[in-house]
């Protein structure tokens, strides 16, 4: 009984020591990892805490992406951006066997027929055909906008939810797909304006805005208003302005938004005006037309907003 209590106390002490990063024997913070032996050892007393860890990675090494793809023995991970989540088989178009040898002409015709039937049976009903077309539209727009893969995954999930709740009825597939992408951009914090999304879509801006509000309301998606400062780095990069101008523009936006000056105004127009105002204060010439074209807004908007911003921060450009 006494030995059992001692062992239990020692186990608890070792557990607390591991959680605190201390050696359970000498209670010092000298635990190091030995990569050659695969052990965690205390430098002070030599106690081996863990040994022979299980490596769940592949037993082979790859030094570039091509070698990784060639040596990998598993398929691609599941993805929401494909209607079947990437689970179905794809028949390669190169007409080669497992050893890389070219097949005969008779086999070519047989493989072609197999590809046709494989493509047909991938979509079992109208819902899957709807989803397949919508996700291909999202993929096309994502490529045109140059947004990262997580945005595509999020947009695909939003469209799937809209389809499951029958929100597509009475609306175009392109409209719902575009609104899902715009929602995903805002949800992931990727600065893309409604005008930019409309430019790569096949529906007009009014329909996108109306569908976006409807889908967000039905799916209970609550999004914060877009902060104009999110657009500043991209606009400054396209305009090729100095870093001082970018920093000053962000400073102007922070100060004016704290005063509530941005309320009810277009975030892209507000960001463009801040960049123009920052250029004046930093004595760097930036044409109003260039700023307006970059932000896809009008020169009048830039002119009105930058004057309001300069008045709000009580600064005037050097004459």
Place of tokens 């493989």: 111
What phi and psi, each to the nearest 5 degrees, are found at residue 262? -80, -10
> What confidence category does residue 29 fall into, taking pLDDT thresholds of 50, 70 and 90?
confident
Identify whether 289 is part of a domain.
Answer: yes
Residue after which a domain boundary falls, among 181, 197, 219: 219
Identify whether 296 is part of a domain.
Answer: yes
Q: Write down the pLDDT at residue 2.
A: 47
144 shares a domain with 176: yes
> What confidence category does residue 17 fall into, taking pLDDT thresholds of 50, 70 and 90?
very low
Identify whether 242 is part of a domain.
Answer: yes
Identify whether 121 is part of a domain.
Answer: no
Residue after which a domain boundary falls, among 219, 242, 272: 219
- Exposed, middle or buried by CB within 10 Å (0-12, 13-18, 19+), for 258? exposed
176 shares a domain with 150: yes
182 shares a domain with 252: no
The candidate with the shortest Cα–Cα distance to 201, out of 219, 185, 218, 217, is: 185
Identify whether 283 is part of a domain.
Answer: yes
206 shares a domain with 167: yes
State the average pLDDT for the chain: 85
Average pLDDT over residues 218-225: 89
> What confidence category does residue 318 fall into, taking pLDDT thresholds of 50, 70 and 90?
low
pLDDT, tens digit, 9 for 90 and up, residues 51-102:
776 766 777 788 888 887 778 777 777 888 888 777 777 777 788 877 778 8
Residue after which a domain boundary falls, among 219, 239, 262: 219
> Can you give the CATH number for the domain in which 166 is found?
1.10.472.10
pLDDT, tens digit, 9 for 90 and up, residues 155-188:
999 999 999 999 998 899 999 999 999 999 999 9
200 shares a domain with 139: yes
Look up the domain containing 179 and give its range.
126-219
Identify whether 44 is part of a domain.
Answer: no
214 shares a domain with 232: no
What percentage of the chain carries pLDDT values higher than 90? Answer: 46
Residue 219 confidence (pLDDT) above 80: yes
Q: Is 236 annotated as a binding residue?
A: no
Identify whether 46 is part of a domain.
Answer: no
189 shares a domain with 268: no
Q: Write down the pLDDT at residue 16.
A: 46
* Cα distance from N-terminal residue to C-terminal residue, the chain: 90
The candidate with the shortest Cα–Cα distance to 94, out of 75, 115, 76, 77, is: 115
The distance of Cα 85 from the centroid of its chain, to the nearest Å, equals: 18
**Cβ partners under 8 Å of residue 227, min gap 6:** 253, 257, 267
The answer to whether 231 and 296 have CB atoms below 8 angstroms apart is no
310 shares a domain with 232: yes
What percentage of the chain carries pLDDT values higher than 70? Answer: 91
207 shares a domain with 240: no
Question: How far apart, in whole angstroms, are the C-alpha atoms of residue 20 and residue 40?
Answer: 14
Q: Is 185 annotated as a binding residue?
A: no
237 shares a domain with 299: yes
> What confidence category does residue 314 fall into, taking pLDDT thresholds of 50, 70 and 90?
confident
Total count of domains within the chain: 2
290 shares a domain with 259: yes
Q: Is 26 annotated as a binding residue?
A: yes
Q: Is 42 annotated as a binding residue?
A: yes
Identify whether 307 is part of a domain.
Answer: yes
pLDDT: which is higher, 256 or 29: 256
């Amino acid at each position: 009984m006494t030995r059992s209590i001692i062992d239990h106390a020692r186990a608890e002490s070792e557990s607390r020591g591991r959680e605190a990063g201390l050696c359970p024997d000498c209670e010092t913070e000298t635990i190091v990892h030995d990569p050659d032996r695969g052990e965690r050892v205390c430098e002070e007393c030599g106690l081996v805490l863990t040994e022979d860890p299980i490596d769940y990675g592949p037993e082979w090494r790859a030094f570039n992406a091509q070698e990784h793809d060639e040596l990998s023995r598993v398929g691609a991970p599941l993805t929401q951006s494909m209607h079947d989540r990437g689970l179905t088989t794809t028949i390669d178009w190169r007409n080669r066997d497992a050893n890389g040898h070219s097949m005969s002409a008779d086999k070519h015709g047989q493989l072609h027929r197999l590809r046709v039937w494989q493509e047909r049976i991938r979509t079992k009903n109208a819902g899957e055909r709807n989803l397949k077309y919508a996700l291909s539209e999202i993929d096309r727009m994502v490529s045109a906008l140059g947004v990262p893969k997580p945005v595509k995954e999020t947009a695909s999930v939003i469209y799937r939810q809209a389809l499951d709740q029958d929100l597509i009825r009475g609306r175009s597939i392109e409209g719902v797909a575009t609104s899902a992408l715009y929602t995903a951009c805002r949800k992931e914090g990727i600065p893309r304006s409604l005008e930019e999304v409309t430019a790569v879509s096949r529906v007009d801006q009014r329909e996108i805005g109306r569908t976006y509000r409807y889908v967000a309301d039905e799916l209970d998606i609550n999004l914060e208003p877009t902060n104009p400062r999110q657009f500043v780095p991209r606009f400054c990069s396209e305009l090729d302005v100095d870093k001082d101008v970018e920093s000053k523009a962000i400073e102007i936006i922070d100060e004016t938004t704290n005063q509530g000056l941005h309320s009810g105004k277009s975030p892209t127009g507000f960001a463009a005006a801040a960049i123009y105002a920052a250029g004046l204060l930093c004595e760097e010439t930036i044409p109003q037309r260039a700023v307006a074209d970059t932000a896809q807004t009008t020169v009048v908007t830039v002119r009105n907003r930058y004057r309001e911003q300069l008045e709000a921060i009580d600064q005037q450009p050097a004459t």
